[in-house]
Amino acid sequence: AQSVTQLDSQVPVFEEAPVELRCNYSSSVSVYLFWYVQYPNQGLQLLLKYLSGSTLVKGINGFEAEFNKSQTSFHLRKPSVHISDTAEYFCAVDNFNKFYFGSGTKLNVKP
């Protein structure tokens, strides 16, 4: 069975500070991993994805994530956040086209 855990429901951070949003998954098979962002009243937008190859994946808006198979993690990072990064972030595992999402992490960037 597949599952995704996002332990931090909310992460407050000051503008220009670094941030890490944690994601752990469980899967009995090879996985494809995704991070999506959801702005208020909008659909989910892809930030980045890991399919294979390099474990460090770069995405849009300066975000990156590192796939760690031994720790079954796929944490999302940004070295310097902006006010506009305030949104909810979802980690997802793709199991034969069926996406399993975590419960989300609300990133609140303060001035």
Residues of this chain that bind another protein (CB under 8 A): 4, 6, 32, 34, 36, 41-46, 49, 51, 90, 92, 94-104
Q: Which is nearer to another protein, 72 or 95 (CB)?
A: 95
Q: How far is the CB of 80 from another protein (least distance, A)?
A: 26
Helices (H), 22-104: none
The residue with tokens 């208020």 is 40
Question: Quick one: CA dihedral 65, 63, 58, 92, positive or negative?
Answer: positive
Q: Which is nearer to another protein, 15 or 64 (CB)?
A: 64
Nearest to 32 by CA among 103, 89, 105, 100: 100
Q: Which is nearer to another protein, 54 or 111 (CB)?
A: 54
Q: How far is the CB of 66 from another protein (least distance, A)?
A: 18
Q: How far is the CB of 96 from another protein (least distance, A)?
A: 5
Q: State the Cα–Cα distance between residues 22 and 68, nearest whole angstrom.
A: 12
